[in-house]
Amino acid sequence: MTRLNLLLLLIAMASAMLVVRAQYEARRTFAALDAAQQRAMQLQLDHDRLQVEVRALSVPGRIEELARHALGLVPVTPARTDYISAARLPSLPASIPTR
């Protein structure tokens, strides 16, 4: 009888330890998940911010300023444009944007 009690006591203690450990693990994993989520959000914000920065660097006003003054370009006119009909165009690689 005493042995059985001792065994049960041991089992009870072991399970108590496991519960504590499981709880600890769960909280640690949750903290990691939370940190990862925070990071994902931060990266999303950074992505948005960088997109805005890209746009700020490519606004027509800035491009025109650079084209006119730094590169000495002039606006395109029909007189200096060679128009090619779409039928004469060889198919372009998909990587080339057409707009």
Indicate which single residue of 1, 4, 56, 96 sits in contact with another protein (rule: CB under 8 A). Answer: 56
C-alpha dihedral over 82, 84, 90, 94, to 10 degrees? 80
Residue 93 interacts with another protein (CB under 8 A): yes or no: no
Residue number with CB closer to another protein (14 or 34): 34
Residue 69 interacts with another protein (CB under 8 A): yes or no: no
Structure tokens at 38: 């925070």
Residue 94 interacts with another protein (CB under 8 A): yes or no: no
Q: How far is the CB of 75 from another protein (least distance, A)?
A: 7
Q: Which residue has the tokens 């909280």?
A: 27
Residue 73 makes CB contacts below 8 A (sequence gap 6+) with: 67
Q: Contact positions toward another protein, by CB under 8 A?
A: 27, 30-31, 34, 45, 48-49, 51-52, 55-56, 59-61, 64, 71-84, 88-90, 99
